[in-house]
Structure 1
């Protein structure tokens, strides 16, 4: 055997030994092998991957953290989520880029302590228990019918209720009885300050309608339900969940809000509306709402479940139209119906803002425009089929030109919606093997 051939043989043997050692070290180092496949031709960017805890097999005793390794060396941010609020985590959540028709193998290791990941989502919620108190951070609170700000003389909630954000956009929910959804436009990818909505004296204050380095509140909501807020149409009458700012008594006996997960890559909230009694109907409903956000897209996901339906109700999802004279536009992408507007529809019509709803086609039943008078105004309202005890899932989108200058162009916003809907529809295939 020549010298060159001997060297090649030695190199082959060394590579074989290294390969065997690598396989052995993997089996010793990791607990599970996860194979995530993209069965579509759509390129997936920061696609949420959710794995129920029970699919991960037996877990050792203790509050063990999860470490995910890709490419044999790179750690992948992940988050354990207590989805049902019982104090024990029940889902593993992470984000993954997957080109069309591809698969990636990720190794899982149970560890005592995981890295501190960059905060890319966050829920801000503060409560002022009385007019004599200052605002304190809270994870849970219940709002009662006689606690309307106009009755008590002060606003009990920081930013009028919880606000949530990712690296692209922020939203807030009027927990003070109005139950509308508003938009915080963001100019930075980092999280906005914790003290937004709090004065120097520590009390609630509307200080977020002025431009700051991070952004500001950009949407006028009025008597609409905002972007992604919802209501019922009972026969042919609109019924608002809650009240408007001029009312003195809420029509919901108790509204309970709770933060179930607060970052770093997934924030999850729950709203429970106990005994909602729409005016002049003689009816009582129970409503559960789950709102979540993850990084990388200009929106949030909502899931609403109605109880004690009579069968003659239609769900309504709002798309505020206070600052636009343009008609709502619609398009279908795969299994989704998209309704959107694009205009200078921020305060004072100063900046371009694209607003959209992404709704499963199987429940979509057209749209109506809210009347000029009543409990719900200034809105395009998507009509959707609802069922007793069955969650209604949809997405609400808000894309501001100061977040990305390209959103000043309607065609760019439209293309963004088409691509987003195509990605949202894809369901990755997950295979789990012990090592």
Structure 2
């Protein structure tokens, strides 16, 4: 019996050693994210490509998805985006907070697809269409030719698609005006699904905020035009415009407005305006794709100049900013607006006439337009009712400077 006990004990010891050895062969994978700036970075938007994740994990098993965990084992909120619309996700998006010069080391692993947690929505796209307020339904795609305002049987909930995050909202006039308006928010909740449907008037201050911008015949809050020779030509989409949601989720939402056969001089061009809004940002990103542009065509975007304001412009790091600030909201209180564009794409700035032209009362930036790659710019808005920092230009400028610093120094991913 003594010999049997020794043999059994030896077997248990060997088996235990094998298990330990087996465990140690499973290597834990990590990704490090480094903030190279001596500033706090809150809600920093980060994109990981599928190829980047596979390069670390070696492969992603079928019916499983990648996740990132912090040091406590908590899953970082994320979303998987199929931007190419080929049935398989191609980008993993998330937001992270950093203290000055901080490096975050997160565990990268996978979980079954059916086990993806539910995260609090922080971005939203809404395009409600019906014949009147009582029968509106949300659409993910919509085409138009001509001016839909001439058709009494079509009702657009907010005159076109709208988008928001936990800070601010915007809306697009889906007609030949093609302007962009701002919804100032006083809540972090997503509210656009109900705006414009009840008795309340969104041009008046409500429990969530209000429409804070009068656009008129300007470019509003970042709408597009083409500078051709000495003329500003509005992109109207009269010949064909199409709205399409690309992705929508807790971290970011993306949609496109496609303009076919836009007449510029004696030529026609196609334009795709891709808009992205991310959690925690005071604005949105524009990526503008062209087909058919020539060397004498340049991209223009602008800021409305209808109410008392002071314009500012400067170059900071790798970016140029065009800004306005003053009591220019529809609530007659402080509102700052800004366009940020890379020095590589910026050409010059200008101011549209006050009257007698198609595009008026607009401060604008002139940017490169290329058939080879998109032109990217950012539109930011700071309303004093949303955050007290925007009661003064100093507070608004601080946010703009922080944004340009972050754009100039992206998070290092290792």
Check whether TM > 0.5. yes
Counterparts of 1:275-286 in structure 2 under 5 Å? 275-278=261-264, 281-286=265-270
Structure 2 counterpart of 1:274: 260
Structure 1 counterpart of 2:210: 216
Distance apart, 1:48 and its partner CA: 1.3
Q: Over residues 385-410 of structure 1, what are the superposed CA-to-partner deviations in whole Å (9 max), with x where a residue is unaligned?
A: 22223211111011100001221111
Contact 2:129 2:154 in 1 (8 A): no
Unaligned runs of 5+ in 2: 1-19
Structure 1 counterpart of 2:61: 60
Distance apart, 1:78 and its partner CA: 0.7
Contact 2:60 2:66 in 1 (8 A): no
* 1:288 matched to 2:272: yes
Structure 2 counterpart of 1:135: 136
Secondary structure of 1:160's counterpart equals: coil
Q: Over residues 254-301 of structure 1, what are the superposed CA-to-partner deviations in whole Å (9 max), with x where a residue is unaligned?
A: 2111111112111111121111124xx221010011111112221111
Structure 2 counterpart of 1:182: 181
Contact 2:169 2:183 in 1 (8 A): yes
Structure 1 residues 401 and 133, CA gap change in structure 2 (3 angstroms): closer
Query: Which residue of the other structure, out of 239, 256, 260, is the alignment partner of 2:246?
Result: 260
Counterparts of 1:4-403 in structure 2 under 5 Å? 27=26, 32-57=29-54, 58-62=59-63, 64-112=64-112, 113-128=115-130, 130=131, 134-145=135-146, 147-149=147-149, 151-153=150-152, 155-199=154-198, 207-242=201-236, 252-278=238-264, 281-324=265-308, 326-347=309-330, 350-371=332-353, 372-403=355-386
Distance apart, 1:25 and its partner CA: 8.3
Q: Over residues 285-319 of structure 1, what are the superposed CA-to-partner deviations in whole Å (9 max), with x where a residue is unaligned?
A: 10011111112221111111122112111221111
Secondary structure of 1:328's counterpart equals: strand
Distance 1:423 1:43 in 2: 10
Distance 2:25 2:135 in 1: 53
Structure 1 counterpart of 2:403: 420
Structure 1 residues 406 and 99, CA gap change in structure 2 (3 angstroms): closer
Backbone CA RMSD of aligned residues? 2.3
Distance 1:37 1:363 in 2: 27
Structure 1 residues 131 and 78, CA gap change in structure 2 (3 angstroms): closer
Structure 1 residues 72 and 24, CA gap change in structure 2 (3 angstroms): farther
The total of aligned residue pairs comes to 388
Contact 1:157 1:176 in 2 (8 A): no
Secondary structure of 1:224's counterpart equals: coil
Secondary structure of 1:258's counterpart equals: strand
Distance apart, 1:340 and its partner CA: 0.6
| TM-score in terms of structure 1 length | 0.84
Contact 1:66 1:78 in 2 (8 A): no
Contact 1:230 1:317 in 2 (8 A): yes
Structure 1 residues 241 and 193, CA gap change in structure 2 (3 angstroms): closer
Secondary structure of 1:310's counterpart equals: coil
Contact 1:344 1:351 in 2 (8 A): yes
Contact 2:133 2:157 in 1 (8 A): no
Secondary structure of 1:418's counterpart equals: helix
Structure 1 residues 132 and 157, CA gap change in structure 2 (3 angstroms): closer
Distance 2:134 2:97 in 1: 46
Distance 1:26 1:346 in 2: 61
Secondary structure of 2:322's counterpart equals: strand
Distance 1:410 1:154 in 2: 45
Contact 1:357 1:397 in 2 (8 A): yes
Structure 1 residues 211 and 26, CA gap change in structure 2 (3 angstroms): farther
Distance 1:405 1:56 in 2: 40
Distance 1:82 1:47 in 2: 21
